[in-house]
Copies of this chain bind each other. A is one copy, B any other.
Amino acid sequence: METNIQQVEKDFLQYVGKIRSYGEAIGVMYWDLRTGAPKKGVEQRSEVIGVLSSETFAMSTSDEMAGYIAQLSTPEAHTYISEVTKKAVEECKKEYDLNKKIPADEYREYVILTSKAEAAWEEAKEKADFSMFQPYLEKIVEFNRRFVEYWGYEGNKYNTLLDLYEPGVTVEVVDRVFGQVRDRIVPLVQQIMSSTHKPDTSFLHRHFPKDKQREFSLAILQELGYDFEAGRLDETVHPFATGLNPGDVRVTTRYDEKDFRTAIFGTIHECGHAVYEQNISKELVGTNLCDGTSMGIHESQSLFFEKFIGKNYSFWKRNYDVLKQYAPGQFDDVALDDFYRGVNESKPSLIRIEADELTYPLHIMIRYEIEKGLINGDIEVKDLPQVWNDKYEEYLGVRPSHDGEGVLQDVHWSGGSFGYFPSYALGYMYAAQFKAAMLKDLPQFDELLAEGKFSVIREWLTENIHQYGKMKKPLEILHDVTGEGLNAQYLIDYLEEKYSRVYQLV
């Protein structure tokens, strides 16, 4: 028995390694497409990606895979195989079940629908005409309602979709924490709106040459422990980080010469994602566990870097002078305090991806409530523009003048990604909660930043979070690190304290 199971384990890991290899090849091609691949080659390249993706899908739903899962999931097998293999089998089983429960014909139809829907969404957004996108979205919602039935659900139907992106997190949890955040942030936003101590932000829009922004971005990546022997920085239109393997985790950024924040804070954000993947344990390389454990935990790392480091006063105490070296003369008349207050401006706005850290969670809550309503049949697609605009008015005090800056602004729904949005806000909460736990171990957090000893912080994150990859589920990591479940209070406290300071509230 032992020998047999160990052979099956070996074969299984090799099979998983093969699937992973295809994924890495696809990852390189996506990175390439988004960082300068010549446009005339795109059609054929998409074909190539399609071929490899189909193979990957076929392998992960094959009879061979079913065999491995069956043989390696028994209690007896569990006594022989490694912890890594056990977790790897679990991941494979989850994916296998999801893919197998949807009838193949229906899935194919859905893939075609979503690829057409994205093009329709793009045009609808450009023309600010929701009616062009509505029929597609209706079908996509219909499919997702049906998928939930196929997959099954416990409690709220939306739980099943949440679980795709944030395993273990439920509507009950999200309702609770979002409610707490909303109850405290909405009044805080209103206080700030009526504050008479608004930061001066005019300096943010002074001309900052692209090549100098790039040099400063590289310097900051270095400062934050990004390993350039295991990555590179490139330019793109919609910035992202991509972990091909822990030895090759690339970041991208976009340069706006009229607003340096785009590149600088964008780079710091992607750096957080990248440092996570660069520090996953080598033991997991080539397995399906060599990844961030969830969307939310991934986002907790990028937001920790962007907000808790990049928007931190002590960080700039050290790095403001460095910035000035790359922008000669440009900030000479801006004191550090004014710089800090300027980059931390908060203002209710219509567009999520341009929102500041205080109002951002409110954008997410609106989407969450809408998605939950759609999946449970409490909201219908045709009513979305009205519902959307009303919620923006209620939560943020602003109302879109057209659907292009309203309900059509995000790509997610055109691809059927329901359940994804909450992870952005959960990431914030995780980040704040990690920060509080970190302060117990590293009470000198601010001094470390001011002294350029970021490596101590990075090592804490690696020790507690990064190294595990998918070996621990998100709520498991959260509990192991902080000793409790999801607790919104840390984020609320952080935001109240910080924005009271920035806006000099009493």
Contacts and interface: CB of A to CB of B under 8 A. Distances in A.
A219 to B, nearest CB: 18
Nearest to A31: B32
Q: Is the interface of A mostly helix, strand, loop or mixed?
A: helix
A505 interface: no
Interface stretch (A40-48, A311-319, A380-388, A482-490): A40-48
A45 B243 CA distance: 12
A232 interface: yes
Interface stretch (A163-171, A222-230, A320-328): A222-230
A237 B291 CA distance: 32
A32 B250 CA distance: 12
A354 to B, nearest CB: 31
Contacts of A286: 44, 47
Interface stretch (A22-30, A77-85, A419-427): A22-30
B18 A51 contact: yes
Copies of this subunit:
2
Interface string A264-286: 00000000000000000000011
A245 interface: yes
Contacts of A45: 24, 28, 244-245, 248
Residue with the highest number of chain B CB atoms closer than 10 Å, among A17, A22, A36, A48: A48
In which size bucket is the chain A interface? 35 or more
A231 B38 contact: yes
B285 A40 contact: no
A44 B285 contact: yes
Interface in A1-57: 17-18, 21-22, 24-26, 28-29, 32, 36-45, 47-48, 51-52
Contacts of A285: 44
B43 A247 contact: yes
A44 B25 contact: no
B51 A227 contact: no
Contacts of A227: 40
A22 B246 CA distance: 23
B52 A248 contact: no
A232 B38 CA distance: 7
Nearest to A250: B38
A356 B36 CA distance: 35
B38 A25 contact: no
Given A29-B28, A52-B21, A229 B40 contact: yes
Given A28-B32, A29-B28, A21 B40 contact: no
12 contacts: A24-B48, A25-B25, A25-B48, A37-B248, A38-B230, A38-B250, A39-B229, A41-B230, A42-B247, A43-B247, A44-B245, A45-B248
The 7 closest A-B pairs by CB, nearest first: A41-B248, A40-B247, A41-B247, A21-B51, A40-B230, A44-B245, A21-B48
